[in-house]
Amino acid sequence: MKKFVFTLERLKQYREQTLETEKGTLAELRGELNRLQSELEGILEELARLNRELLEKYQRGTTPTDISVHKRYISAKQQELHMKRHQILMKEREIEAQLQTVIEATKEVSKLEKLEEHQIEEYRAAEQKENELFIEEFVSNADWRKANADNG
């Protein structure tokens, strides 16, 4: 019997390659999210430091201009904080969409793997049937040769 060949092997390989590409994209997006979250942490730390400095300036006494400049800088950092949070939210949505893409690609590969398993089972059943027929034929030929040898 000829060697087993999955009829959709090329499609399966293509789907597996697509799955790996989609997983790579998901990993990149998660890396970007981690970077954005680290940047957010940095902004939060800087805001905390700036607020402490402003409090110290109030306690020490300073010019209204210096306090105004400091408050504008804090306000700019708060705007940056809001923008970073928005970027994180958008990245999380992008990750969720990519995760769904990976799930669908995984399902496609899984379907093809199940189909391949089914074809392997059919191949093995046909191979076993062929082996049984060969053995039956061999035994009946041996019996026929033995009967003819006895008569001859």
pLDDT of residue 142: 77
In a domain, 128, yes or no: yes
Residue 56: pLDDT band (50, 70, 90) is very high
Would the pLDDT of 151 be above 70? Answer: no
Give the contacts of 27 (CB within 8 A, at least 6 positions apart): none
In a domain, 2, yes or no: no
Range(s) of the domain holding residue 111: 9-151
Give the contacts of 66 (CB within 8 A, at least 6 positions apart): 57
Would the pLDDT of 1 be above 80? Answer: no
Count the Cβ atoms, other than its own, within 10 Å of residue 56.
Answer: 10
pLDDT of residue 25: 98
Q: What CATH code is carried by the domain that includes residue 97?
A: 1.10.287.1700
- Count of domains forming the chain: 1
For 100-129, the pLDDT digits (tens) are 999 999 999 999 999 999 999 999 999 999
In a domain, 3, yes or no: no
Task: Work out the percent of the chain whose per-residue pLDDT is above 70.
Answer: 98
* 29, 101, 131 from 104: Cα distances, Å: 18, 5, 40
Contact between 99 and 33 (Cβ < 8 Å) = no
In a domain, 1, yes or no: no
In a domain, 135, yes or no: yes
Task: Work out the percent of the chain whose per-residue pLDDT is above 90.
Answer: 78
Average pLDDT over residues 40-64: 94
